Amino acid sequence: MNAVVSDVKYLQEEIKKLASEKKAVILAHYYQRPEVQDIADFVGDSLELARKAKETDADIIVFCGVRFMCETAKILNPGKKVLHPNPESGCPMADMVTKRDIEQLKEKHPDALVVSYVNTTADVKTVSDICVTSANAVNVIRKLDAKKIIFVPDQCLGQWIAKQVRDKEFIMWKGFCPPHFEFTAQEVERLKERYPDAPVAAHPECHPKVTEMADFVGSTSQIIKYATTCEADKVIVITEVGLKHTLKKKNPHKEYIFPESMNYCGTVYCCTMKGITLDKVYETLKNEINEVVLPEDVIEKAKKPIERMISVL
């Protein structure tokens, strides 16, 4: 075994040992580095991770994801110590809308309900009526007893929902997920030319020009189900490349083709998701540092829209 591989294995074993000694659970999003996903007790999409964080009886939650995910875990399970291995790993889209922005929108549209994508700050959630994730957005919004919806912050997810929920009026915020927004229709076209028999699966955070070209649109967990079980032996997958690790584990017999062009961070992946490394997980758990702390009143208010979402489905 070479030195790098043995370092990875050594750190993974040490982290697992620490986690068991400290009664800690490690949760990771599908966009995390493969070696981080491999030490997690559970890997999932935003909705599945929120559910796990709410249910766990572990003393410590080590959350390998971006800040809003850690905040959601703390809000749903405030008695637990939630540790974020890299406190600088935020979601740029979540930071595109503020509590003040929502308050101003509410003043302009007092008859509208505020639906926040779970990719928002805890502060924004305190002034939201309900949260959604990409896995449940259409179903949750269809069930809402309101004709007018303020949807924040992702304009792409918002437009994708609006196409399916025709009987409601949407006031859209103009936020976007930088890595998904930068996948272009031209790139998808090129991939389709190279792999003419491969269907296209895309995340709804992609630009509408991209989702319009897709054979399947869904959240990360929905893409996993589609890509690993559809008949084709090659699938073009338009989302963050971290998903390839789970796809290969679930069905290694297929080829998964991801976009290859560089995004705003000069990478093909979401650079804040990849800000969590094994070293950081180890240091964080060993020293119980990087604890997620939120004011009690924020937890109380932000809990309502998240729990409302969980109770709808």
The residue ranges that bind ligand SF4 (CB under 6 A) are 31, 66, 91-93, 119, 177-180, 240, 270, 272-273
Torsion of CA 51, 12, 36, 224, to 10 degrees: -70
Pairing outcome for strands 130-132 and 113-117: parallel
45 binds ligand 13P (CB under 6 A): yes
CB of 44 to ligand 13P, least distance (A): 8
* Residue with smaller CB distance to ligand SF4, 28 or 270: 270
228 binds ligand 13P (CB under 6 A): no
User: In the chain, what is the straight-line distance between the N-terminal and C-terminal CA atoms, in Å?
Assistant: 47
* Residue with smaller CB distance to ligand 13P, 112 or 161: 161
Q: Which stretch binds ligand 13P (CB under 6 A): 70-78, 132-140, 159-167, 188-196?
A: 132-140
Site track 57-96 with ligand 13P (rule: CB under 6 A), x = hit: ----------------------------------x-----
Residue 272 interface partner, choices ligand SF4, ligand 13P, none, CB cut-off 5-8 Å depending on type: ligand SF4
CB of 177 to ligand 13P, least distance (A): 6
CB of 14 to ligand 13P, least distance (A): 28
Residue 46 interface partner, choices ligand 13P, ligand SF4, none, CB cut-off 5-8 Å depending on type: ligand 13P
Place of tokens 């650079």: 271
CB of 202 to ligand SF4, least distance (A): 13
Among 60, 115, 149, 177, binds ligand 13P (CB under 6 A): 177
Q: How far apart are CA 89 and CA 91, in angstroms?
A: 7
Q: How far apart are CA 103 and CA 94, in angstroms?
A: 16
Name the 3-class secondary structure at 133.
coil
Among 219, 246, 284, 290, binds ligand 13P (CB under 6 A): 219
Q: Which stretch binds ligand 13P (CB under 6 A): 8-16, 44-52, 206-214, 253-261?
A: 44-52
CB of 179 to ligand 13P, least distance (A): 8
Q: How far apart are CA 242 and CA 250, in angstroms?
A: 14
Report DSSP state, residue 274.
G
* Residue with smaller CB distance to ligand 13P, 135 or 191: 135
Residue 134 interface partner, choices ligand 13P, ligand SF4, none, CB cut-off 5-8 Å depending on type: ligand 13P
Q: How far apart are CA 98 and CA 5, in angstroms?
A: 43
272 binds ligand 13P (CB under 6 A): no
Convert 158-221 into a string of H (helix), E (strand) and C (coil).
HHHHHHHCCCCEEEECCECCHHHHCCCHHHHHHHHHHCCCCCEEECCCCCHHHHCCCCEECCHH
Say if residues 73 and 50 touch (Cβ distance below 8 Å): yes
Q: How far apart are CA 29 and CA 101, in angstroms?
A: 28
Site for ligand 13P in 231-260 (CB under 6 A): none
**What is the phi/psi pair of residue 17, to 5°?**
-65, -50
Q: How far apart are CA 238 and CA 244, in angstroms?
A: 11
* Residue with smaller CB distance to ligand SF4, 178 or 208: 178
Amino acid letter, residue 16: K
Q: Which residues bind ligand 13P (CB under 6 A)?
A: 30, 45-47, 91, 119, 133-135, 177, 205, 219-220
